[in-house]
Amino acid sequence: MTDTLPPHWDLSQLYTFGSPGLERDMGELKELSHNFLRWRERLSDPGFAPEEFKSALDELVGLQERVERLAGFADLSFSEDTADQRYTSFLGVVEEAAADLANDTLFFELWWKGLPEERARGYMDSVAGHRYFLNRIRDFKPYTLSEPEERVVNLKEVTGAQSLVALYDSITSRYRYQTSFLPEPALLGREEFSVHFRSHDPLTRRGAYREFYSVWSAQGPVIGQIYQSLVRSWRIENVVLRGYASPQSVRNRRNDLTDEAVASLLKVSREEAPKVFGRYFAKKALLLGLPRFTRYDVYAPILEESGGPIPFAEACSLVDSAFRGFSPRMADLAARVAADGRLTARLMPGKRSGAFCRSILPEDTPWVLMSYNGRLQDVFTLAHELGHAMHSMLAADEGVFQFQAALPTAETASTFSEMLLAQALLKGETDPKRRASLLCHVLDDAYATIGRQAFFALFEVEAHRMIEEGATPDELSDAYFRNLCEQFGDQIAVPPEFRWEWVSIPHFFHTPFYVYAYTFGELLVFSLWRLYEKEGPPFADRLIRILSKGGGASPADILASAGVGPLDDDFWRGGFKVIGEFVDAIWMPPRHTRGMAARWEKSP
Ligand SMILES: [Zn+2]
């Protein structure tokens, strides 16, 4: 690659393995967490004063910070080398300590949740900085059962839903897929195999999807049965026992979104996504020179990466200048990650795959892990993860309980950062082929997180309803297939094996109704992008205001405080409009030269 290696982080800023500091902090955490139990008696005293409440909460903050630091170190060392057994076992030790802490402090949360409104308000005034966090705990009061009931639910959960999810994971992680469509077939796991869905060769893509779903459909009815039980258990606990309005509204409450806002998001996505992505896929078909575009071709790449690898230093300066053009303050924050030794981008054996940004404490520069290969995709990953880091640094004032953004807004800074990079790259790019490829990069992502996830969410709502009415796994597959046909419209053929796709989506099993948060987050960014295009540079301050709130208010309130929203049909339609403009911007070569081997000409 290049003569200078990408950087590797310096974890010794946190701890060193076997050092006295690490031992001491582990010991102190146990001691202090036990010590916290002494508050239990004080809480039942009617004379428990607001100053005492503040002291108890300060202690809780201290405990949380300690456990975050230890857990952060354990996570990061494990990610750096997943094969090192010292790290795996330390991870286990810290997880246990965190569970002990949660147990030792649970009484405080239960007491707080059960407090009459007026008394709670009196205490709240003494700790205004944690207001949202404290209010959130109380929001769930109406859905909380008695203590003995909660205990039964918790205990039964381990052998109930949790064990079904574990069973799903262990059955499906054993699946292997045969690459019989390649000259030298091999048997691969899911991650390695999935790259063939993005092959340049249409026959490879088709072969890969057929093999993938033939494996999943063989056990489809059994996996479907696991799903039925999970859905029933979800409903019994949340709707029947806890009294939530619907299976989905549990998740909406946890995301602090109203049922109406989510319904509006899904309704508009159902109307707009098939139109705008249908238009995109029609253009993509022409760029690829395919006479007929099918579901197999959705992720087909437009062109092979040309030129050599991009040196890491160049990637950094591309990202930096994209950020700097928007907001020098944001660029400075992002630059701190590498400067403070918090970035690992080097390829190393045993390193965790993928990429992430891990914030440990609000006032601390976050840690970023990725494996830099010099592809354009890696430059986007760098921008994405540095966006997360920036978000967390901007929200430092919110404190340990509130600085991390909640699910629906967690991808705002990261996705916006990718858009800034795409914009900067487009500005400097005159070659129409590479311009089209950049636009397709943005649109492929937009499809995967907006259109696809919205239709997943719509299916989930329907599946929960159908199972309540006694539907079989086969009937669910039929419903899923109808959902796909609606999503892709008349122009894009959906081959029949896709009817079992739903059993291969882990989120449906692990975290019901999780997926719409992707649609929410990414479509939100397109809506924000629209404001940026309208307002120009002054918009940077508004975005910073949004990001600085971290997770310190509900998503709707955070946006409203920067004058963004309300989250109604028009708002979401605005996001789709911007996606449509990206589709329009793809320049098409003259008809006779279209296709893979087309002779590209300069755009007029
Ligand atoms: Zn992300």
Tell me how far the alpha carbon of residue 331 lies from the centroid of ligand 1, in angstroms. 18
CA of 487 to the centre of ligand 1 (A): 25
Same domain, 185 and 197: yes
Q: Which residues have a Cβ under 8 Å from the Cβ of 519 and sit 6 or more positions away? A: 265, 266, 269, 449, 450, 453, 454, 457
> Both 131 and 224 in a single domain?
no
Q: What pLDDT sits at residue 147? A: 80
What distance in angstroms lies between residue 38's CA and the mean position of ligand 1's atoms? 40
Q: List, for residues 85-112, the tens digit of each pLDDT value.
A: 888 889 889 988 888 888 888 899 999 9
Q: Is 247 a domain residue?
A: no
> Which DSSP symbol is given to 302?
S
What is the whole-number distance in angstroms between the Cα of residue 384 and the centre of ligand 1? 6
C-alpha 236 to ligand 1 mean position (Å): 33
**Cβ 318 vs Cβ 331: under 8 Å:** no
The low-confidence residues of the chain, meaning pLDDT below 50, are 1-2, 595-604
Instruction: Give the tens place of pLDDT for each residue, 485-499.
Output: 999 998 899 999 999
Query: Same structural domain for residues 102 and 152?
Result: no
Q: Does one domain contain both 118 and 176?
A: no
86 CA from centroid of ligand 1 (Å): 28
Please indicate, yes or no, if residue 45 is contained in any of the structural domains.
yes
The pLDDT score that the predictor gives to residue 1 is 42
The fraction of the chain above a pLDDT of 70, given in percent, is: 96
| Residue 188 within a domain | yes
| 367-369 and 343-344 beta bridge pairing | parallel
How many residues would you count in the chain?
A: 604
User: Among 298, 563, 332, which residue's Cα sits nearest to residue 440?
Assistant: 298
Domain boundary among 79, 109, 144: 144
Q: Are residues 86 and 33 part of one domain?
A: yes
450: nearest Cα among 531, 517, 527 = 517
Task: Give a three-class secondary structure readout of 100-154.
Answer: HHHHHHHHHHHHHHHCCHHHHHHHHHHHHHHHHHHHHHHHCHHHCCCHHHHHHHH
Residue 385 alpha carbon to ligand 1 centre in Å: 6
Read off the pTM: 0.90
Contacts of 151 (CB under 8 A, 6+ apart): none
Query: What's the confidence (pLDDT) of residue 591?
Result: 61
Q: Give the per-residue pLDDT at 84.
A: 87
Q: Are 333 and 393 in contact (CB under 8 A)?
A: yes
- Please check whether residue 206 lies inside any domain of the structure: yes
What's the CA-to-centroid distance between 392 and ligand 1, angstroms?
A: 12
Give me ligand 1 centre to Cα 359, in Å: 13
Could you report the per-residue pLDDT of 359-393, keeping only the tens digit for each? Answer: 999 999 999 999 999 988 999 999 999 999 999 99
pLDDT, tens only, 416-427: 999 999 999 999
Residues 140 and 152 in one domain: no
Distance 414 CA to ligand 1 centre (A): 6
pLDDT given for residue 589 in this prediction: 66
Q: Tell me how far the alpha carbon of residue 412 lies from the centroid of ligand 1, in angstroms.
A: 9
495 Cα to the center of ligand 1, angstroms: 31
Using CA atoms, how far residue 287 sits from 45, 302, 440, 600, in Å, is 73, 7, 10, 10
Total domains in the fold of the chain:
3
Tell me how far the alpha carbon of residue 307 lies from the centroid of ligand 1, in angstroms.
Answer: 28
Same domain, 178 and 227: yes
Ion ligand 1 — residues with CB under 5 Å? 414
Instruction: Tell whether 50 is covered by a domain.
Output: yes
**Residue 474 within any structural domain of the chain:** no
Q: 422 C-alpha to center of ligand 1: Å?
A: 16
25 and 130 in a single domain? The answer is: yes
Give the per-residue pLDDT at 305: 61
Q: Look at residues 260, 254, 258 and name the one whose alpha carbon lies nearest to residue 551.
A: 254
Q: Are 511 and 487 in contact (CB under 8 A)?
A: no
The rounded Å distance from CA 565 to ligand 1 centre is 23
Which domain range does residue 81 map to?
11-144
Strands lying side by side in the sheet with 356-358: 343-344, 367-369, 356-358
| pLDDT tens, position by position, 122-155 | 999 889 889 999 999 999 999 999 888 888 888 8
Same-domain pairing of 28 and 119? yes
Reference 525, options 391, 404, 414; nearest CA is: 414
Pair 86, 164 in one domain: no
Which pLDDT score, from 0 to 100, does residue 155 have? 80
Examine the domain organization and report whether 140 and 151 are in the same domain.
no
CB contact set of 58 (below 8 Å; sequence gap of 6+)? none
The CA distance from 198 to 185, in Å, is: 17
The answer to the question of residue 499 being in a domain is no
User: DSSP labels for 452-521?
Assistant: HHHHHHHHHHHHHHHHHTT--HHHHHHHHHHHHHHHHTTTSB--GGGGGGGGG-HHHHHSTT-THHHHHH
User: Are 223 and 137 found together in one domain?
Assistant: no
pLDDT in tens, 47-82: 999 999 999 999 999 999 999 999 999 999 999 998
- Whole-number Å distance, alpha carbon 491 to ligand 1 midpoint, is 32
Per-residue pLDDT at 180: 95
- In angstroms, rounded to a whole number, what is the distance separating the alpha carbons of residues 495 and 485? 10
Picking from 213, 241, 269, the residue at the C-terminal end of a domain is 241
Prior bond of 566 cis (ω within 30°): yes
Picking from 241, 264, 299, the residue at the C-terminal end of a domain is: 241
Q: Is residue 466 domain-resident?
A: no
Q: How far is ligand 1, taken at its centre, from the CA of residue 387, in Å?
A: 8
CA 464 / ligand 1 centre spacing (Å): 28
